[in-house]
Amino acid sequence: MTAGARHLDGGIIQSSVIVSTRWFAGGCGRWAGCAPSDGTRIYIANHTSHADFPLILAALPAHLRERTSVVAAAEYWRGGKVRRYVAEQVFRTILLQRDHVALNQYAQMIAALDRGESLILFPEGTRGSGQHLQPFRCGIYHLARARPQVEIVPVWIDNAYRLLPKGALVPAPIECSVTFGDPTHLYPGEDKKSFLERISEALLSTGRKNGNNCYRH
């Protein structure tokens, strides 16, 4: 199979995943703190399920989805041929080693931002229960320091841990919501601890929003 054929197959599978995600969980993004934008952004989200990033991608307009990459854990997504194929051929995935994020791995993310791509990050670094937000790891801080002009948009995902819980292979039809909050940046002179606490609270605040500003496409 040629590289072009693999790319075509990956695009078809991605479209199928997006359609399936909308069918199982709904396809509405709640833009409570901002509107969709062609500008480069870093979407930071809570992490409770492997359905999280398809839910965010399904909530984005198609032209933004095409230029948005997912940052994910290499040890999981390279743990088998199917997972590797999904990460490398189906979705635009930047794979990082969670236990040792080297400078060259930051370089991959920075290069993507410099190309005008947006990123989806899960600052908790691992899946949680859906009941509490876990402490943020420092990677988002170093990325924000490297490109402080890039907007950081908190995205709260609700119910994904019920849609596709740990260990499940088939999702259960249940409505999920994806809420986009107020964009922010790293403040001048802001230290790592203050920044991580502030954006963690921004993500929690996004989860508490009850707006009905629903963007459909």
Query: d(Cα 176, Cα 141) in Å, to the nearest integer?
Result: 28
Backbone angles phi, psi at 12, to 5 degrees: -65, -45
68 pLDDT higher than 80 = yes
pLDDT in tens, 95-107: 887 665 555 678 8
Q: How confident is the model over 116-132, as a mean pLDDT?
A: 87
pLDDT in tens, 6-44: 455 777 888 888 888 888 887 678 999 999 999 999 999
Edge-to-edge strands of the sheet including 93-96?
Answer: 93-96, 68-73, 118-121, 41-45, 151-158, 177-180, 29-31, 214-215
Average pLDDT, the chain: 84
Helices (H), the chain: 3-25, 52-59, 62-65, 74-77, 81-85, 103-114, 139-146, 160-163, 192-208
Q: Provide the pLDDT confidence category of residue 75 given band limits of 50, 70 and 90.
A: confident
Q: How confident is the model over 171-195, as a mean pLDDT?
A: 92
Q: Provide the pLDDT confidence category of residue 167 given band limits of 50, 70 and 90.
A: low
Q: How many residues does the chain have?
A: 217
**What is the token pair recorded at 22?**
């909308």
> Which pTM was predicted?
0.86
pLDDT number for residue 97 = 78
CATH number of the domain residue 170 falls in: 3.40.1130.10
Percent pLDDT > 70 in the chain is 85
Highest averaged pLDDT of the listed ranges 30-44, 73-87, 127-141: 30-44
Q: Could you list the residue range(s) of the whole structural domain that residue 197 is in?
A: 3-215
Q: Please, which residues bridge with residue 192 across strands? A: none
181 pLDDT higher than 70 = yes
Q: How confident is the model over 86-100, as a mean pLDDT?
A: 79
Number of domains the chain contains: 1
156 and 45 Cβ atoms separated by less than 8 Å? yes
